[in-house]
Structure 1
Amino acid sequence: MNSALRQLPNALTLARALAGPLGAVLLVQSSQAVVESDAVRLGLLAVLVFIIAALTDWLDGWLARRLNAESALGALLDPIADKCLVGGYLIAYCAISGFDAYLVLPVLVIVGRDIAITVLRLVRPSPGTLHVTLTAKTKTALQMVITAVPFALILVGFRDIALWYHYWIGAVWFLALLTAWSAWPYVQAALKR
């Protein structure tokens, strides 16, 4: 099989990691745009980047299995890419909110946990040996859905942010609790070494 084709899953994973900061910048620029058409264009680009990047989370794993190209590097990069995507957008929401403490605190928990687990994965004697748990996969799926909720609400016409913002903040707090809880199996596995 073509070696370039076997690198496609990792290339998609890296693209997802880069999509987080790119989409976050587009989202913040959209919120700061003076002309409404610029705000809409940049906002739609941010949505498109997020949707395509989120889909690669499934696609890269499927391709790796299909092409028999599963690798330790891919297993290490995949959760990091997820964290870059979700974390980038959540940080952008914090900036757009004017760093509202009710949003910043749970985002700090989410991003802090993700950084800690990534460092834990990298400093282990065999980097990448902390395998992704089912709880962590569920957490990642929920992170992507909750991160996309503001897009979805605005796209379907809910322009009155005050109407849904506090409910969404509650969902982010739930996500922070789930994210912190999902770290425990990794800590236990690291302590066994």
Structure 2
Amino acid sequence: MNSALRQLPNALTIARAAAGPIGAVLLVQSSQAVVESDAVRLGLLAVLVFISAALTDWLDGWLARRLNAESALGALLDPIADKCLVGGYLIAYCAISGFDAYLVLPVLVIVGRDVAVTALRFLRPSPGTLHVTLMAKTKTALQMVVTAAPFALIIIGLRDPALWYHYWIGAVWFLALLTAWSAWPYIKASLSK
């Protein structure tokens, strides 16, 4: 099998990690655009970047198995890429909200937990040996859904955030609690090394 083709899963993972900051910048620029057509164009680009990147979360793993290209590097990079994608957009939402404390606090919990678990992965004698748990996979899927929710709400016509913002903030708080709780298996595994 072509070695370049075998690198495709990791390339997709790295692209997903880069998509977080790129999409976040587009999202913030959309919110600051003076001309409505610019705001719509940048907002749609931010949506497309997020959706495309989120789809690679499934695609990179499927390709790695299909091409028999699973690797320790891929296993290490995959959750980091997810954290970059979701974290980038959540931080962008904080900036757009004017750093509303009701949003910033749960986002700090989410991003802080993700940084801590990533650090635990690297501090182990064999980096990357903390395997992703089913709880963490579920948490990541829910994070992607909640992160995409404002896009979906605006696309279906609910353009006034006053109609849904506080409900969405509640979902982000739920994610923060779930995210913090999902760190426990990693902490336990690290303590038992």
- 1:70 match: secondary structure: coil
- 1:189 match: secondary structure: helix
Q: How far apart, CA to CA, are the structure 1 residues paired with 2:82 and 2:160?
A: 29
The question of 1:138 aligning with 2:134 is answered: no
- 1:49 match: secondary structure: helix
TM-superposed deviation, 1:123: 1.1
Where do 1:118-133 residues align within 5 Å?
118-133=118-133
Find the counterpart in structure 2 of residue 69 from structure 1. Answer: 69
TM-superposed deviation, 1:170: 0.1
**Amino acid of the structure 2 residue aligned with 1:45:** L
Find the counterpart in structure 2 of residue 158 from structure 1. Answer: 158
Q: How far apart, CA to CA, are the structure 2 residues paired with 1:177 and 1:149?
A: 18
Q: How many residues matched?
A: 193
Aligned-residue CA RMSD in angstroms?
0.2
Find the counterpart in structure 2 of residue 12 from structure 1. Answer: 12
Where do 1:1-193 residues align within 5 Å?
1-193=1-193
Q: How far apart, CA to CA, are the structure 2 residues paired with 1:155 and 1:77?
A: 32
TM-score, structure 1 as length reference: 1.00
Q: Residue by residue, what CA displacement relative to the aligned partner does 1:104-162 show, whole Å, maximum 9, x if unpaired?
A: 00000000000000010011100000000000000000000000000000011001111
**Amino acid of the structure 2 residue aligned with 1:3:** S
**Amino acid of the structure 1 residue aligned with 2:176:** A
Percent sequence identity over matched residues? 89
Q: How far apart, CA to CA, are the structure 2 residues paired with 1:89 and 1:175?
A: 14
Q: How far apart, CA to CA, are the structure 2 residues paired with 1:143 and 1:63?
A: 23
TM-superposed deviation, 1:48: 0.1
- 2:81 match: secondary structure: helix
Q: Which 4+ residue blocks in structure 1 deviate beyond 6 angstroms?
A: none
Q: How far apart, CA to CA, are the structure 1 residues paired with 2:78 and 2:87?
A: 14
Q: How far apart, CA to CA, are the structure 1 residues paired with 2:163 and 2:145?
A: 19
**Amino acid of the structure 1 residue aligned with 2:169:** I
Q: How far apart, CA to CA, are the structure 1 residues paired with 2:155 and 2:120?
A: 38
Q: Residue by residue, what CA displacement relative to the aligned partner does 1:8-41 show, whole Å, maximum 9, x if unpaired?
A: 0000000000000000000000000000000000
Q: How far apart, CA to CA, are the structure 2 residues paired with 1:161 and 1:150?
A: 8
Ranges in structure 1 where 5+ consecutive residues have no aligned partner: none
**Amino acid of the structure 1 residue aligned with 2:174:** F
- 2:164 match: secondary structure: helix
TM-score, structure 2 as length reference: 1.00
**Amino acid of the structure 2 residue aligned with 1:5:** L
Ranges in structure 2 where 5+ consecutive residues have no aligned partner: none
